[in-house]
Chain A
């Protein structure tokens, strides 16, 4: 099976812009989770989607949002970008229960 894929792999934006990142889970996986990784804060959970519904949410401002489509692909959006949003954004997929999470390679976002 193909692994989790994320597009784009690298992105450069300026403050105030918005950005959309995409994640395609492993075939058959219905749950997609998103994480932000920074040198200072480490890996932090953003949110999790299952069957197009957000099931869990981390402690991030409302500028961070996501959605999941009927084919389980997921997107996350960050509006009004700030310098501190520069990070590696990882997504992970699981079949749906309390399973092992399989991670994608990440999208490196740089905000200038």
Chain B
């Protein structure tokens, strides 16, 4: 079965504090993993994908195959990071995304 779990529905941190959004997945093969973000009144957009190993807007995510996790991290949160964050996996060879339930991140001033 293919499943993505984001254990936190809501996460609130203060500006300047570190942020970690958790994501665990279940998939028997080698999935491709993504983080998508939806800012207020904007469409869903890609934040980062694990194969590119990029850091976008200060966010990074490391794939841990042993723990089947893909947690999203940022060392110093900014107010503009407030948004809904979705972790997703794409099964090998399939053009589809399996999403987690999402985490609403709020950065307090």
Contact = CB atoms under 8 A, between A and B. Distances in A.
Given A43-B86, A98-B90, A105-B43, A33 B96 contact: yes
A45 B45 CA distance: 16
A55 B94 CA distance: 8
A9 to B, nearest CB: 12
Interface in B28-47: 32, 34, 43-46
Contacts, number: 50
B87 to A, nearest CB: 11
Q: How large is the interface on A (under 10, 10 to 19, 20 to 34, 35 or more residues)?
A: 20 to 34
B100 A58 contact: no
Q: Is the interface of A mostly helix, strand, loop or mixed?
A: strand
Contact of A42 (B45, B90, B94, B102): B102
Contacts of B45: 102-103
Interface of A: 3, 31, 33, 35, 42-45, 48, 50, 55-56, 58, 90, 92, 94, 96-98, 100-106
29 contacts: A33-B95, A35-B97, A35-B99, A42-B99, A43-B88, A43-B97, A43-B99, A43-B102, A45-B96, A48-B95, A58-B96, A90-B44, A92-B97, A96-B95, A97-B95, A98-B32, A98-B90, A98-B95, A100-B34, A100-B46, A100-B49, A101-B46, A101-B97, A102-B45, A102-B46, A103-B43, A103-B45, A105-B43, A106-B43
